[in-house]
Structure 1
Amino acid sequence: MTAVAQPAVATRGPLDDAHEQLADACRVLGYDEGTMKMLAAPRREVTVSIPLRRDNGDIEVLTGHRVQHNLSRGPAKGGLRFSPHVDLDEVRALAMWMSWKCALMDLPYGGAKGGVTIDPAGYSEAELERVTRRYTSEILPVIGPNKDIPAPDIGTDERTMAWMMDTVSVASGYTVLGTVTGKPVSLGGSLGRASATSLGVAQIAFAALNHLGMAYDATTAAVQGFGKVGRGAARFLHLAGIRVLAVSDAFGGVWNPAGLDIPALEAHVDGTGSVVGFTGAQPIDNAALLTAEVDLLVPAAVEGVLHEGNAGDVRARLIVEGANGPTTTAADAILAERGVLVVPDILANAGGVVVSYFEWVQANQAYWWSEAEVEARLADRMTSAWHQVLAEAEALELSLRAAATCLAVRRVAEAHRQRGLYP
């Protein structure tokens, strides 16, 4: 069994990349240093202790964070991550990227992110519920449907959101469906939310392939990550006729030069919990997957997997970022020099927050849409954003990432300007 490679060890982290992307956008837009500092600074940060009584009676104290980066365009929006790698700088970076993502998709939100430093695999369901409810109660003063609306992320799911919603509702004295998104449909969740990020990634991949003149049936792909985002993305690519040659998860990867049978692979994962051991494929480690001979690469797991050490070996012609921050700034420069088209995360994986917005709207008006309506509205948003970013990139001779960031930063800065500074 081959473990998935971790991001390259370096002194830089995601927050450094986020700040550099913002600084580059401010230079292009002609903003002064004061405006840049205002856009870089989080509006609010909360760090909390989470005492947990383990099932065996032992007491453990965990640490949680919630960062609200910007609130100028509306209440904050962002996921909650349970991971042993969570730290405050990571949460700050992810919150900033959420601000740009929401603005790029023209959603009435600012950006936020939350995290608890915990490995969910080492805890029982009852323990995870206690952690979730205590974390929620600690950040209760700063969250709510008109303040900050959490959603699932790495290590959390619709069950986690149900616990959060119930904790807020009990404290409020009535059911507050709009306090989180990504809930079970039976508790006010939206149809189509579970697959929204994956479907958005696929829709953007199709738009990029069309732009490059690449026929789907002649395109090969590799997907790094087979969880919330990667699994659905692989399925949608496969259904479109693209041959997915390789996928990986936290335990290893599989490769078949003739193309993987994605439905069979999904059944295997449902039965075993991993892609490892799938018949009709050979093992591949994560490092080899990222540099495999494919046309399309979808990094859909964690930050920083494409870095200075491997970007020069990437063979894909197109990279569509399913994860947040999978490509470092140094890797971006190398890939651009080599002519690799990179579709940035704030565009490519925005389907989740778009349908989260739809869920919030439905909860607030107590009227739910059909799955077909949700998917049609999602396609409209994703396609519109793609064309806006492409036009900005061509007009200003920028990369897609720089163009997307400029569009988003301009919208947030304009909201700041229109609202003014207080006092």
Structure 2
Amino acid sequence: MTALEATMSEAPEASIIWTDPITGRQGFLVIDRLVRGIASGGLRMREGCCYEEVRGLAANMSVKEVLHYDPSNLYIPMGGAKGGIDCDPHSSEARGILSRFLSFIWPYVANNWAAGDDLGTTAELIEEILGELGIDGCIAPVLRVIDDPIAARKRFTEAFSANFRGIGLAELVGGYGVAETTLAVLDRDALPRSSVTAAIQGFGSMGGATARFLREAGVRIVAISDLHGTVANPRGLAVEDMLRNRLESGIIDRGRLQPDDVLLDGEACLSYDADVLVPAAISYAIDENNESHIKAKYIVEAANLPVTAAAEEKLQKRGTVTVPDVVANSGTNAWWWWVLFGDVTPDAESSFGKIRTSLHTLVTETLDLAEVTGISPRQAANQLAAVRRESLAHRLELL
């Protein structure tokens, strides 16, 4: 079974395969499902991106959205969608391709798809291009279903201008959510945080923030990788120093490491001897070719679909607990909408508090169900999503 087959169920509500008339590059939009005419999900750009990848990620988004459904919240979940473009985001052609793609799917981004940033794109660039196309930002479709859109946009603007210790709050919420997911797993198994080690693949905004908040909680970070390889130290890495000296695109400054830090190849991070492994870089990083090398007891998926379904199945048989991306990295998506709908105020204290409480509850529910039924945590998350989707459908019928 592939990762795609594990996440897809019904046919998507809409699929577009677009070919750029100038470069021949392809772009893809998949709307897995609409709720009140709206779907949420990011737009990625990477060399080799394909329809099947985008289709699986869109199905994932439908699950991720509804998992945070709480009748007491103002936020009513949307459907899931995803966009992708087969292009190196660092190419000189990238911006033009992105602009032409968004122009081609204009009706969807204006009315149906709340398109956030993802791998290879930034929120700033997407907002800039949408503005050039006459669309009032990526949240334009959502504002149609909010009672006070002016107040909602004000909260959203304030949240994306907010800082925590001099760092943009929006850059931190994703990694904070992954860290809290990890801590929820450790607390559930009654593991003292100071006795736990973690390896983190990827040192961008997600991986970096995860490392920061895990270290602050007492977890020893023993390996971190970037595009050029792995930096490891069984005594523990100086995470704050590494973040302070981090170069562009999440690159570790190897000239400013501890004397006993060791430089290894990139794959070494995945197989490093750590209790927790956080793949926070690319999809399908762990597959049938390397899953046997994994030593971690817990895998917390910060990236989207970083473990293939076949590898996940083998890992589960070996006793590895894999917390799926639809749970582990859902904090960013949920936070956007909690802010917009008014379930949190646009500041760190309110935002972190809501993320922490919601994810600790969701992690416990997911792992408890998996343990009782003998299914994988991903299957358990899908079951929880199905139940919440029925509850949401009933509520919408009453509106």
Task: Tell me the TM-score normalised to structure 2 length.
Answer: 0.84
The partner residue of 1:104 within 52, 55, 67 is 67
CA distance in 2, matches of 1:234, 1:195: 11
CA distance in 2, matches of 1:176, 1:273: 27
Which amino acid is the alignment partner of residue 75 of structure 1? I
Give the conservation status (yes or no) of the 8 Å contact 1:203–1:379.
yes
1:96-148: CA deviations, max 9, x gaps?
0111111112251111001111112222xxx544333322221111123x521
1:275-315: CA deviations, max 9, x gaps?
26252222112222111111111011112222222222211
Q: Does 1:166 align with 2:127?
A: no
Percent identity of the aligned residues? 30
Give the conservation status (yes or no) of the 8 Å contact 1:299–1:323.
yes
Alignment map for 1:281-292 (pairs within 5 Å):
281-292=261-272
1:65-87: CA deviations, max 9, x gaps?
11100114761110010111211
How many Å apart are 1:331 and its aligned residue? 1.4
- Where structure 1 has 5 or more consecutive residues not aligned to the other structure, the ranges are 1-11, 23-38, 52-58
Alignment map for 1:9-28 (pairs within 5 Å):
16-21=2-7
Give the conservation status (yes or no) of the 8 Å contact 2:33–2:80.
yes
CA distance in 1, matches of 2:237, 2:305: 27
* Structure with more relative contact order (C-alpha pairs < 8 Å, separation 6 or more): 1
The partner residue of 1:390 within 351, 360, 367 is 367
Relative to structure 1, the CA distance from residue 60 to residue 310 in structure 2 (aligned partners, 3 Å threshold; closer, same or farther) is closer
CA distance in 2, matches of 1:389, 1:70: 23
**Structure 2 match to 1:93:** 56
CA distance in 2, matches of 1:85, 1:184: 38
How many Å apart are 1:414 and its aligned residue? 6.6
User: What SS does the corresponding residue of 2:170 show, helix, strand or coil?
Assistant: coil
The partner residue of 1:305 within 285, 296, 300 is 285
User: What SS does the corresponding residue of 1:193 show, helix, strand or coil?
Assistant: helix
Relative to structure 1, the CA distance from residue 376 to residue 74 in structure 2 (aligned partners, 3 Å threshold; closer, same or farther) is farther
CA distance in 2, matches of 1:47, 1:352: 27
The partner residue of 2:194 within 189, 210, 217 is 217
Alignment map for 1:321-400 (pairs within 5 Å):
321-361=301-341, 369-400=346-377
Alignment map for 1:120-199 (pairs within 5 Å):
120-123=89-92, 128-144=94-110, 147-168=112-133, 170=134, 175-176=136-137, 178-179=139-140, 190=160, 191=162, 192-199=169-176
1:356-386: CA deviations, max 9, x gaps?
2134436xx9x96222222222222212222
How many Å apart are 1:347 and its aligned residue? 0.4
Relative to structure 1, the CA distance from residue 153 to residue 21 in structure 2 (aligned partners, 3 Å threshold; closer, same or farther) is closer
Which amino acid is the alignment partner of residue 228 of structure 1? S
Give the conservation status (yes or no) of the 8 Å contact 1:48–1:63.
yes
Task: Tell me the TM-score normalised to structure 1 length.
Answer: 0.79
Relative to structure 1, the CA distance from residue 253 to residue 246 in structure 2 (aligned partners, 3 Å threshold; closer, same or farther) is same
Give the conservation status (yes or no) of the 8 Å contact 1:165–1:180.
no
**Structure 2 match to 1:62:** 25
Matched length: 371
CA RMSD of aligned residues (A): 2.9
Which amino acid is the alignment partner of residue 299 of structure 1? P
Give the conservation status (yes or no) of the 8 Å contact 1:132–1:160.
no
Give the conservation status (yes or no) of the 8 Å contact 1:129–1:163.
no
